[in-house]
Structure formats: C-alpha cells, structure tokens
Chain A
Amino acid sequence: MSGNSRGFMQSEFMGKLMVAMAARSSRNRSLLDRLCRRALNRLTALPPEEDFMRDPLIDNDEGFDPEELDRYQRGE
C-alpha cells in the first residue's frame, strides 16, 4: 500500500471525517451536530429484514416495575 497514493489520502480524509461526524453526533446540540447525527443515522440504519441486531429479547424489553424490584429486593 503506497502511503502517498491518491486513494490512500482519500481514505485518510474519510477516516478523519467520520470521526468528526461521530464527535458532532455525540454532542448533538447545535444544528450541525444534529445534522451529523441524522446523517450517521441514515448511513447506519438497516431495513428490518437485514438488521442482524434485531433481537426479541432486547426489542420487547420494557424493563421492570419499581414496586416489583422493591419486593424482589426485600425477598418477597
């Protein structure tokens, strides 16, 4: 791999751009931040039928009822 080739320079630029967008997305405050988050959302979202991260255990989780946790903690 030539470190000075055009393709290599492009890949470095793209790598830096992705980090900059991720930083903006993580901040999510200004208009530019939110635009970056929206762009990353579109770049990374998958149609449900191809989404290997879908999992019923996770997708259907609604958490716990606080009273249920209280009772459990008391050993009831």
Chain B
Amino acid sequence: MREGVTTKRALCASCDIACSVVTEIKNGRVVRVRSSDNPIFRDHICMKGIVAPKGFANPNRILHPLKRVGERGSGKWEQVTWDEAMADIGSRLQAVVDRYGPEAWAVSTSQWNTSTDHGLGRRVMNHVGSPNWISGVALCAGNTAAVNRFTYGWFPFGDFNNTRCIVLMGHNPRRHSWTPIYNYIRSAQQRGAKLIVMDPRRSSSAERADIWLPLKVGSDTAMMFGWLKVIIDEGLYDKEFVAEWTVGFDELRQRVDEYPLERVAELTGCDPEMIASAARLYATHGPTIIPWTPITDMQRNSTSGIRLQSILRAICGYLDVPGGELLQGFNPDIINESEIEMHHVLPEAQKAKQLGSQDHPAFTYRGQSAFREPTRRVYGQEYANLVMGCHMATPSATFQAMAGEGPYPVKAFFFLGNNPLLSYANMPMILKGMMNQELIVAHEQFMTPSAQLADYVLPADSWLERPWLHDMFGWMSTVRFSEKSMDPPGDCRSTFQFWKLLAGALGQSDIVPWDTLEDFYDYRVARTGMSFADLVATTEVHFAKPEFRKYEKTGFATPSGKVELKSSVLEGLGFDPLPYFREDPPRDDAYPLMMFTGVREDGFFQTGHRHIPEMRARHPEPEIYLNEKTARTAGVRDGEWVAVENQLGRIKAKLAIRDAMPDDLVRVPHGWWKPEMPQGHGQLSGAHDYADSQLCRDDDDFLDREQGIPHIKGIPCRVVSLMSPSGDAEIVDASLLEPVE
C-alpha cells in the first residue's frame, strides 16, 4: 500500500459490464483504479477503467446546474441552483402533463446511469402516468431479454465456467472491451472448450475459433435455420426434453424444412459442409452456450434470430444445466428493480398508449403482458423488467411523436447519462423531435451534442462518487456492492437525488421516501438481515443458492408452462408464431456497398470518452474499415478522409484498410463526436460530421417487425473520396494482417 493511500471496493461503470475493481484514494480523490483482489475477478479491468480518475477530473465537466437563456441550442446558459432548477422543471413538466396528458413526457436513459437509476425513473413515471420510457437497451440486451421470454419466460446467462462449447454470433469480446467475457471465453478455451464464431470479419475471436463461419452481414437468422435443419434431420436434439418440455416442435420442423442447406448457403454465403459441421459441434459437444450478442439485437430479423437462439438452446437440452444456459431468476434476498419500478400503479389505459406498442409490441407493455401471470407463478412477481428491456416504448415511434408525427404529441423529454441524438437510428428525426419540445432536461457529466439542446443541464456524479447496489439488471441472481470512493465535485448529484427532487417538485415526495441513497439501499437489502454498510464492507458478491432445472418444479414462465417453440404470445399479437427470415429489400445501384455500425472501440464506450486525452490519442479520428479490393473499386485510399453516404445521410471518416474485412462491407464506428468542436444547434460538436446515427434508417424495410428496432447490420451505402485530386495518400500495409475489432 502506498503511503497515504486508502482503498475502496467499487464497481466500474465506465461501460455496462460493471467490473469489480479497487479504487485507491489519496488526498480525498481517486488516484488509481485497479482490478479486484478477489481471484474470481482477477484482471477484470480495462483501459477505460484505469483512466477514469482523469476522465472525471476533466476541466470541462459540468459542475453546476445550467439553464438555457438563449434560443434552444444557442449555447447560452446561466448557472442556477438545484432548487431553482427543479422548481422550474417541476412546474413546466406539470404544465405539459396538464395540457397534453402524462404520456407527453418521455425519458431516455442509458447504461451508465440506468444501472444506478435503481428503477426510480420508472417509478416516478408510473406514478405520473407516462409509459414512454426508452433506452439504448432497446437494441442492446434489453430487447434480447424481452424476446427470450417468448420462448421460455426468462433471459438465460451462459455458464462459462463449465461449458464445453461457446458460440459467438458476430460478438468479439477483447482484452479492453467486454473484458470479463473475454476472460471467460479464453479461460474456457484453455480448459478445452470449443469456440464457434459467426462473423463476416476475420475478428480476433474468429482467429481463435475452432470453426469460423464468415457469413454475409445480417444473415445470422438464416444460418441458425441451417443449424436447426442439420440438428433436426440428424436427430441430434434432446428428444426427451423436446417431448416433455416443449410445444410446437412439429410446426417448427415444417418451418425449418423451408431452409435446406443449399438455400442457407446461398443466403449466408457459407459452405454447406462448414455449416453442418458447426451445427453438429453445437449439438453434440455440449453443454454449449450462445452468449448474448448485440449483433442479433440490431437486425431486421432480430426477433426471429433471438428466438432461434432460444430454440437451439432448448431443443439441445442446454437450459438450466451446468455448463449451459442458466435461468437464474431474481435474488430472493434483495428488493429488485422491477419491484421498485411499481409497474402495477400505471393504469392499463396509460400502458395502452405506450408509443410503438400497436405496430411493434414485442418489448412494450402490450407485448409482455401475457407473461404477467406465468412470471408470478414461476418467479413470484408479475413484472420482470429484465435488463430494463421488457416494458419499453419503441424509440423510433417516440421520436416521431416528439416531432409531431405520432398518434399524440410528446412535449417534454428528459435524458439521463444518455446522448439520444447519437444513440438511436435516424438522427434527423431525433433532432426534429428535440427542436419541437417545450421542455428538455439532461442529467449529464459533459456537454454532449444532445445536452446542447436542453433547457436544463444538471450535473451528474460518477461511479467513483456514489455507492451502488448492482443487481445484474435482474438478469442474474448475483448482487454486488460498490463503495463511494470520493465526494462528487461541485454540485454533481446522483440519479437517486435527481428523481427524489423531481418527485418533490411534482408534489409527490412520498414516491421516493428515502432520505439518502444509503437509506434506500438499506431498504433494498433488509431481507439479508444486514445493512448496506455491512454488506459492502464484508461481501463482494451476494449469491442466491444455486439450483438447476428449476423448471421441473415450476414449469417455464410462459402461458403453456413449457418452452414455446411456436410462440402463443407472438401469435396472440398477430405475428408469425414461428421464426422466419426476411431477405434484404431490392438494392439501389447507387449504393453498392453494405455497412454495419454499432461497433465499440476499445478506448470508448458508446458515445462517451472522447474527452479523455489518453483515449483520443488511441483513436484520434473516426475510422471506417474496408478491405483493399473494395477500397480500390471505390477509388479511395488508406488514411484519406472519405464520406459514407446512403439515402438518409452522410458522415465523414478516415479510411483504414483492413484485409480482415470481406469484400463490399464497410465498418462504420459508432457514436462519434468531438467535444473540442463548436457547440450548439447546427454544430453539435461535430455530430453532424461524424455521427453514425445519421446513416441508420428506420423505415419499414429496415425495422424488425415485432420490435420496431433498426437494422444496422447491413445498410446499403457508398464510400466516396473527400480528398482533392492532388491529395494522393499512399496505401499503407502496416496493419493489413491485423484482425478487425
């Protein structure tokens, strides 16, 4: 221990993984973040974690409440107190509710703060009467959780420690991105587990795989049909489990028969024998896991793709067995966030108004209502808002309503730890919606492009500056605790304080009755017989008692109590109850390439971290990747500035040649803006130049039917040079052989 240094146990929230770390504190501030001393968390830290003390000390951090004094987006602010801000926000929000109805208030939150939001945002909204809560989890894990319920009523987590085979669908965990998952996968491989990777790119995971299926972008669903064709035709499934615990197998078989391997090979671009080999390995080398992947979350066939993952897990007998896919349920000792949210107080008539629920209901109240009784039967409560994704409004429908193009107006928009302009599809529509608001409130650490359009920007604390109780998003039954390491600077406050103050400003203080965050946590952990302070001091992880094959006692949390290969809930909502595959719409010759986006770079999480010098030094500019052949065809060269264009918009980026990319595919980086560039409407700190959300379409051909989430893994586009004819950059070979991330 260095002189004058004290330590705290904390959970890093630099991304959404929540690694267990140790903070070192000197002179009242965190000076170092290192990995936990507990061997089960060894080395669970990445570059974003170690640089956090500097990131939060950035001189441009927002330290005091700011009130807009000029036109929206003019960049003119005055400093006010929290009391002044919340009093005005409360009265203006109430005016919107009185004039347009409570559904005219929408809230968007993101992982940085939703996991420390504790369900209080939904709790306040449910009491006010608004169902219109949206989040990036609509296309990243939250929607996966909701769609998994259609098949077996919960969202399983893979047992990496005991599995014998892992399937990565486009996902590429690395040392500095999804660090614990990377550790689990590499450890499993060292134990002898097999790795199957589906990815158009020769990713670093693909290079380590036993089988790499370089499929066409966006064809994951077709690939899984091919696997099922092999597994069913060759009788490789768990016949006992299928007979006893599933419904709809014969109908599934008929649907699968529509996908002979020759057709699947054509749809995916992969060799039929290789497809068959991967399917056999999956089915016969188990227990196998298909860990959650954001890739399947972001496609026009997302619902069918996630359903097929679920079906593979089920018919091969991998549900809730060691080494397989664990259905953990809630931790019975902790009051979970779904309980905190109090969804039962929101009237059914208001739930029915949730935006997007009529056309794309999968993760809305309407789509999930059939699980209320089964969830109570199996998990002891009606509402299970797994990964916060099971009772959401649809983002695109919400922005349309904000822009005056929905079934009713949305006129007040709050976002916490979230940068909506860059986080959802169709930035032009989001911008139009934001400019049409009567009240915008941001709770943020930095002046993001979205915050620049707010009426109020309220200063947010960081994970170093608050305690935290992390219930693993309701996904797993483990609960972890984080100590406050230092005081927040200036007037920065937590989401707990934000919601408590807002409830008070709306005259409903009793909604959030706890005085402090610690009091609230004491309430949540009371069933353990310990206080939060005792738990955080003595327990890094609070486990629920492990059990396997719990369904044998309770059945599954579906209407039938069985695994629904044919979904009664989807059928009841008017959708195809079996998975299916929608092919790409007809191509426009003007856009001969395909792009995908949503990719994290190691130094950044989503749209954040661009303000940290050490991280920007690693990624100074947004880069797109092409292989050399595609670049030559497009007439562009390594290192030059290019534009990526499609029917919706245009962004600028530097070109990096990567031979690990397949022909005609463009990798577009996610969430780019530059904090150093001019702020305000029309500028938005470079968002108009670089933000990939300008290319992400949300018209019908590019939306998943059941969920209404955008297809961002295979969008037609073109790449054109932005250099003058004399700007003759050379093609550099230095990184040609590197895998792509």
Which residues of A line the B interface, CB within 8 A?
A: 1-3, 8, 11-12, 14-16, 18-19, 22-23, 25-29, 37, 40-41, 43-46, 50, 52-53, 55, 57-58, 61-66, 69-70, 72-75
Contacts and interface: CB of A to CB of B under 8 A. Distances in A.
Contact of B57 (A45, A46, A57, A69): A69
Report which residue of A3, A37, A72 has the largest number of chain B beta carbons within 10 angstroms of its beta carbon.
A3
B515 to A, nearest CB: 29
Interface stretch (B22-30, B66-74, B493-501): B22-30
B287 interface: yes
Interface string B34-47: 11001110110111
Contact of A55 (B39, B175, B317): B175
Given A29-B538, A58-B46, A63-B33, 14 more contacts: A11-B162, A12-B548, A22-B543, A25-B40, A26-B540, A40-B40, A43-B39, A53-B175, A55-B175, A58-B47, A64-B32, A69-B31, A72-B57, A73-B59
A25 B538 CA distance: 11
B39 A45 contact: yes
Contacts of B286: 1
A23 B543 contact: yes
A63 B24 contact: yes
A14 B321 CA distance: 12
Nearest to B40: A22
B712 to A, nearest CB: 30
Contacts of B238: 1
B186 interface: yes
B162 A15 contact: yes
Nearest to B49: A58
A50 B45 CA distance: 18
Contacts of A43: 39
B393 to A, nearest CB: 37
A54 B33 CA distance: 16
A67 B259 CA distance: 65
Given A2-B240, A15-B548, A22-B40, A50 B32 contact: no
B489 to A, nearest CB: 8
Contacts of A3: 321, 549, 552
A23 B161 CA distance: 15
Contacts of A46: 190
A73 B58 contact: yes
Contact of B39 (A29, A37, A50, A52): A37
Interface string B143-171: 00000000000000001011000000000
B585 interface: no
Contact of A27 (B35, B47, B61, B538): B538
Contact of B190 (A25, A26, A50, A58): A50
A70 B489 CA distance: 11
Nearest to A45: B39
A69 B549 contact: no
B737 interface: no
Given A44-B39, A66-B26, A19 B543 contact: yes
Report which residue of B35, B57, B186, B538 has the largest number of chain A beta carbons within 10 angstroms of its beta carbon.
B57
Report which residue of B40, B187, B489, B542 has the largest number of chain A beta carbons within 10 angstroms of its beta carbon.
B40
Given A63-B24, A63-B31, A26 B539 contact: yes
B39 A15 contact: no
B53 A18 contact: no
Nearest to A10: B322
Contacts of B35: 58
Contacts of A12: 321-322, 548
Contacts of B33: 63
Nearest to A13: B322
Contacts, number: 122
A40 to B, nearest CB: 5
A37 B38 contact: yes
Contacts of B26: 66
A49 to B, nearest CB: 13
B43 A14 contact: no
30 contacts: A1-B286, A1-B287, A2-B240, A3-B321, A8-B321, A12-B321, A12-B322, A14-B322, A15-B162, A15-B546, A18-B162, A19-B546, A23-B542, A26-B541, A27-B539, A28-B38, A37-B39, A44-B39, A44-B40, A45-B39, A53-B43, A53-B186, A55-B175, A57-B47, A58-B45, A61-B32, A64-B54, A69-B29, A69-B31, A69-B54
Nearest to B54: A64
Given A26-B38, A27-B538, A15 B32 contact: no
B75 to A, nearest CB: 19
B459 interface: no
Interface string B237-279: 0101000000000000000000000000000000000000000
Contacts of A55: 175-176
A66 B54 CA distance: 10
A15 B549 CA distance: 13
Interface string B353-371: 0000000000000000000
Contacts of B45: 58
B560 interface: no
A63 B4 CA distance: 14
Contacts of A70: 29, 57
B87 interface: no
Contact of B317 (A1, A11, A14, A74): A1
Given A1-B287, A1-B317, A18-B161, A61 B59 contact: no
Contact of B159 (A2, A15, A57, A75): A15
Contacts of A50: 190
B50 interface: yes
B29 A66 contact: yes
Contact of B31 (A1, A28, A52, A64): A64
B508 interface: no
Contacts of A28: 38
B183 interface: yes
A11 B322 contact: yes
Contacts of A14: 162, 322
B129 interface: no
B183 A53 contact: yes
B395 interface: no
A1 B321 contact: yes
Nearest to A16: B546
A26 B322 contact: no
B323 interface: yes
Nearest to B238: A1
Nearest to B59: A75
Nearest to B287: A1
Nearest to A55: B175
Given A28-B38, A29-B538, A66-B26, A58 B50 contact: yes
B479 to A, nearest CB: 11
A18 B159 CA distance: 12
A25 B57 contact: no
Contacts of A16: 546
A25 B38 contact: yes
